[in-house]
Amino acid sequence: IKKVGVLTSGGDSPGMNAAIRSVVRTCAYHTIECIGIYRGYQGMIEGDFKEMGPRSVNNIVNKGGTILKSARSTEFRTAEGRKKAHENLVKAGIDALVVIGGDGTFTGGLLFNNEFNFPVMGIPGTIDNDIFGTSHTLGYDTALNTVVDVIDKIRDTASSHNRLFFVEVMGRDAGHIALNAGIGAGAEEILIPEEDLGLERLLESLQKSKASGKSSSIVVIAEGDKIGKNVFELKDYVDSNLPEYDVRVSVLGHMQRGGSPSCFDRVLASRLGVKAVESLLEGKSNYMVGLQNDKVALTPLEQAIKGKTEIDRELLRVSDIMST
């Protein structure tokens, strides 16, 4: 391997820049070249490349977003798009890829490898923490801290007005952000797709909480929750069934993807970048680098995509006990 291409793809997440920096500097450390590919797979198709030396990644370890930009490319889903991308890589002398993103990014990488036998390594970058083979994806820890920070602020106004707030958080089909940030922020109830609480039990729990002397409440809802009502419909439902509550809704949205990465995410990104490049140099391909029991470990990309990331059910019990 003489020249590694690096790209970020799919939804951005805090820590992606720290991972780019790590890949670039690990290449420099091993005296091989590194090429930044802009806008993910779309930039690969368009040949949007830039040489990256160790000084090109100065002062980005602390920055949110991705300096390489990100995109979700529909053209890369076609055989013709991938052929164009391959031609561009060959023309530029790139002989291996590090792709930073979520399962869509890994699916693209795997397909590309299968078609052109091109060495690919994945780094999990998404706030959702929904990738199998790693306890933490890049950006997840930062997003948790952001959500907890915001809910602390919502709690101030909720308690001043004796209100109930439904706070919707991201996570796509997974409840990791909701469950962990919910416990961290002291939520009364946490609604996640992996566990259907049901409307009846939600009402019961809110009634019980009022009766126990609580004057304000926070309910955290994962965007992928399957209770059958969206967050605004839930507000209407509680308004009409529990008129004693004054209900408000707050949808946190894309602010959860922004901001300076936490120390945890910066360290994780640095470790994963080193492992990704060094694994390619050892001749490995089609793996994702991740964190398992605090150690950096490889998982076949296919498993990372297909495997299911379970939520920690003990956390559900902890949350229940905490809302007593």
Q: Contact positions toward ligand F6P, by CB under 6 A?
A: 11, 102, 126-128, 170-172, 223, 257
User: Measuring CA to CA, how many Å separate 111 from each of 77, 145, 258?
Assistant: 9, 35, 30
In the chain, the N- to C-terminal Cα span, in Å, equals 58
Residue 73 marked in a binding site: yes
CB of 124 to ligand F6P, least distance (A): 11
Q: Which is nearer to ligand F6P, 26 or 262 (CB)?
A: 262
Residue 209 marked in a binding site: no
Q: Which is nearer to ligand F6P, 126 or 319 (CB)?
A: 126
Residue 171 marked in a binding site: yes
Catalytic residue among 12, 128, 141, 225: 128
Residue 231 marked in a binding site: no
Contact 289, 275 (CB under 8 A): yes
Contact 167, 247 (CB under 8 A): no
Residue 254 marked in a binding site: yes
CB of 308 to ligand F6P, least distance (A): 16
Rg of the chain over all Cα atoms, to the nearest angstrom: 22
Q: Which is nearer to ligand F6P, 47 or 184 (CB)?
A: 184
Alpha-carbon distance 150 to 158, whole Å?
A: 12
Is 239 a catalytic site residue?
no
Contact 5, 109 (CB under 8 A): no
Look at residues 211, 155, 166, 210 and name the one whose alpha carbon lies nearest to residue 189: 166
CB of 77 to ligand F6P, least distance (A): 16
Q: Which is nearer to ligand F6P, 9 or 216 (CB)?
A: 9
CB of 174 to ligand F6P, least distance (A): 8
User: Measuring CA to CA, how many Å separate 113 from each of 24, 84, 120?
Assistant: 22, 14, 7
Active site residues: 128
**Binding site members for ADP:** 21-25, 155, 186-188, 214-216
